[in-house]
Amino acid sequence: MKAKPQRTFTPTPADIDRSWYVVDAEGIPLGRLASEVAQILRGKRKPTYAPHMDMGDYVIVVNAGKVAVTGNKETDKVYHRHSGYPGGLRSHNLAYVRTKHPERLVQNAVRGMIPKNRLGRQTLSKLKVYADAEHPHEAQKPQPLTLTYRKAEA
């Protein structure tokens, strides 16, 4: 008797189990924080991951204004945004963005690590960023997430 070939598992929307995580960004380098948050948002750490589906979990990032950057990025890194009108380009350095809109630091960093398509926009909607330690998502019972990043031993 001939055995049936093993079929590749393809997840359906019923197979998606979403969790809520909260991450404290205080003192964590921006890029390391963004790369781990992007992996969780996409669901790449789940055994049922499929690149064509939004399998990820919700992530709440608190203390976004206290995220760490290295080197001269505080003054040299420039963020651009455009209004869509002629001459509507606005450019500000990281220090200015940190004082006026600290949540944009994390949002822009994570956005750069997510696919630039409909799936990426859907994935990015599960990211909630707050400048301070308070967030309105206590009803979802978010679990604290410890990142795999470790500070270098001095």
* Domains contained in the chain, CATH given: 19-144 (3.90.1180.10)
Residue 49 identity (one-letter amino acid): Y
Neighbouring-strand partners of residue 22: 60, 144
pLDDT per residue as tens digits for the range 38-67 = 999 999 999 999 999 999 999 999 999 999
| Contact call for residues 62 and 22 (beta carbons, < 8 A) | yes
HEC states along the chain?
CCCCCCCCCCCCHHHCCCCEEEEECCCCEHHHHHHHHHHHHHCCCCCCCCCCCCCCCEEEEECHHHCECCCCHHHHCEEEEECCCCCCEEEEEHHHHHHHCCHHHHHHHHHCCCCCCHHHHHHHCCEEECCCCCCCCHHHCCEECCCCCCCCCC
Question: Can you give the pTM of this predicted structure?
Answer: 0.89
* Dihedral sign of CA atoms 41, 44, 48, 52 in order: positive
Q: Flag whether pLDDT at 75 surpasses 90.
A: yes
pLDDT tens-place string over residues 87-131 = 999 999 999 999 999 999 999 999 999 999 999 999 999 999 999
